[in-house]
């Protein structure tokens, strides 16, 4: 399977490479990015390289699909987007995304996620966005993308927004 590189008007979504280790470290060691996530901050470049290897192994095994988000003009890495936690029947997945703080608020993530969602719906029937109940920016983004609150799921600090494939 060829990795699905996606182009938008301002962005390129592509597969991670080990050349992205420094950028992944900047993203995954940033306390502002991780504020609403339940994971430790990365401590060094070795952890970033290990993470990239894990991600690409998961892509090869069809466990998830994970994109580096880069600016088209400069190829600068600004964040990531993924579909993961696929249901056993492969009809539902979770949407994941992170963006470096200096690029937030410029519409980049919405621009990146629209084609990611379209890609997901070539196979999936439902995509869920899991977010922290206090992450207002993430909640607003999911709503702008057409996700609606899933009232059947609330787990402590997490809430789920759901988007179903339109027939």
Contacts of residue 99, defined as CB under 8 A and 6 or more positions apart, other chains included, come to 33, 69, 78, 79, 108, 109
Coil, strand or helix at 102:
helix
Is this prediction's pTM over 0.85?
Answer: yes
Q: What is the DSSP letter of 43?
A: -
The number of CA neighbours under 13 Å toward the Cβ of 66 is 22
Q: What pLDDT was estimated at residue 57?
A: 96
Give the separation between CA 19 and CA 37, rounded to whole angstroms. 25
Over 80: is that where the pLDDT of 14 sits?
A: yes
Give per-residue pLDDT as tens, 70-129.
Answer: 999 999 999 999 999 999 999 999 999 999 999 999 999 999 999 999 999 999 999 999
Q: What pLDDT was estimated at residue 38?
A: 83
Contacts of residue 6, defined as CB under 8 A and 6 or more positions apart, other chains included, come to 12, 13, 14, 67, 112, 115, 116, 119
Give the separation between CA 95 and CA 82, rounded to whole angstroms. 6
Query: Which one, of 56, 45, 70, lies nearest residue 17 by Cα?
Result: 56
Q: Please state the rounded mean pLDDT for residues 57-75.
A: 96
Give per-residue pLDDT as tens, 16-53.
Answer: 999 999 999 999 999 999 988 888 999 999 999 999 99
Q: What are phi and psi of 33, to 5 degrees?
A: -70, -40
- Count CB neighbours of 18 within 10 A: 12
Here the tokens at position 161 are 């927004």
């Amino acid at each position: 399977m060829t990795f699905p590189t996606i182009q938008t008007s301002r962005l390129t979504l592509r597969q991670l490479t080990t050349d992205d280790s420094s950028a992944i470290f900047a993203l995954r060691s940033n306390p502002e990015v991780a504020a609403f996530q339940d994971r430790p901050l990365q401590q060094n470049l070795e952890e970033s390289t290990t993470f990239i290897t894990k991600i690409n192994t998961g892509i090869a095994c069809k466990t998830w699909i994970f994109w580096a988000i880069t600016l088209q003009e400069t190829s600068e890495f600004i964040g990531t987007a993924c579909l993961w936690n696929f249901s056993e029947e492969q009809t539902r997945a979770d949407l994941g995304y992170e963006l470096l703080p200096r690029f937030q608020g410029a519409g980049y993530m919405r621009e990146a996620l629209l084609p990611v969602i379209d890609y997901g719906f070539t196979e999936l029937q439902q995509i869920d966005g899991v977010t922290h109940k206090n992450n207002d920016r993430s909640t607003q983004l999911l709503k702008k993308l057409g996700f609606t609150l899933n009232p059947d799921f609330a787990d402590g600090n997490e809430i789920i927004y759901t988007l179903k494939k339109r027939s």
